Amino acid sequence: MADHTPPREPDVTREQAEAAVRTLLRWAGDDPQREGLLDTPKRVVKAYREWFSGYAIDADEYLARTFEEVEGYDEMIVLRDIEYESHCEHHMAPIIGRVHVGYLPAGKVVGISKLARVVDAYAKRFQVQEKMTAQIAGCIQRALAPLGVAVVVEGEHECMTTRGVHKRGVSMVTSTMLGSFREDARTRAEFLQFIDTVARRR
C-alpha cells in the first residue's frame, strides 16, 4: 500500500482563511459585520486547526517509533470502538463513528492509545470513509508487518443526515482485510465475532 502521505504545511495565511469564512457567511445570507458574527471567522479558523490536525501527523513515522517487541505472542489482538470525528471531502460535513482494528502480530504490537492516535491522524483530515479505512490498515501493515490486519469503520455522515436524502441513523460500514484476514475465512469470522458490529447496534 503506497498511499502514505507525509504532512504538508498550509499555504494560506490565517487572515486569508478568516476572509474565506466571512465570504461563506455572506453566501449563507448573513452579515459578517453583525455583532454576533464578528469573532466567528477567528473561532472557525481555530476550530479547523483541531478538526484537521491530522495533516500535521505522519502516522507511519509515529507508529514506527512506538511499537513494542513481544516475541511469542501470536494470538489475534482486537481493539474495538475507537471513536473518531472526521469530515467528508465532498461536503466538508462531519462524519462521526467508530473504528475496530484487529491484527495477528508477528513479533510487534502497539498500545491502544497509539492506535487511537493513528486513527486520529487519518480521521482529522477531509476524508472518504473507504479511503480512511484502507489508510489505517495500510499504516498498521507497514509499521508492524503483522500476519494480517482487519479494519472496520462505522460512520454517520452528516451530509446524509442534515441535507440531501435526510436519512437519520444510517451508518455506513466499510472494511479492509489484509493478509490472513483476507485469506482465511476462520480468522476473519473470529474477528467479526469479536467486534460484533450488528448485534451491538445502539
Binding site for Zn ion (CB under 5 A): 88, 90-91, 159
Minimum Å gap between C-beta 112 and Zn ion is 29
| Nine cell digits for residue 101 | 482494528
Q: Indicate the residue among 17 and 159 with the shorter CB distance to Zn ion.
A: 159
Shortest distance, CB of residue 93 to Zn ion, whole angstroms?
5
Q: How many other CB atoms are found less than 10 A from the CB of residue 97?
A: 22
Q: Which is nearer to Zn ion, 94 or 138 (CB)?
A: 94
d(CA 141, CA 14): 37
Looking at beta carbons, which residue is closest to Zn ion? 159
Nearest-10 crossing angle of helices 112-123, 129-144: 140
> Is 33 an active-site residue?
no
Among residues 18, 100, 139, 157, the one annotated as catalytic is 157
Verify whether residue 91 is a known catalytic residue: yes
Please tell me which residue in 16, 68, 90, 193 is annotated as part of the active site: 90
Q: Which of 87, 100, 129, 141 is catalytic?
A: 129
Residue identified by cell 453566501 is: 27
Cell matching residue 4: 502514505
Distance CA 108, CA 29 (A): 55
Nearest CB to Zn ion, comparing residues 94 and 105: 94
The grid cell for 59 is 502516522
CB of 128 to Zn ion, least distance (A): 9
Pick the closer one to Zn ion by CB: 88 or 144.
Answer: 88
Phi, psi values for residue 75, rounded to 5°: -95, 165
Q: Is 100 a catalytic residue?
A: no
Quote the DSSP letter at residue 174: E
* Cell reading at 76: 489475534
- Rg of the chain in Å (alpha carbons): 19
Annotated active-site residue in 89, 130, 183, 193: 89
Q: Is 157 a catalytic residue?
A: yes
| Least distance from Zn ion to the Cβ atom of residue 172, Å | 11
| Positions marked catalytic | 88-91, 129, 157, 159
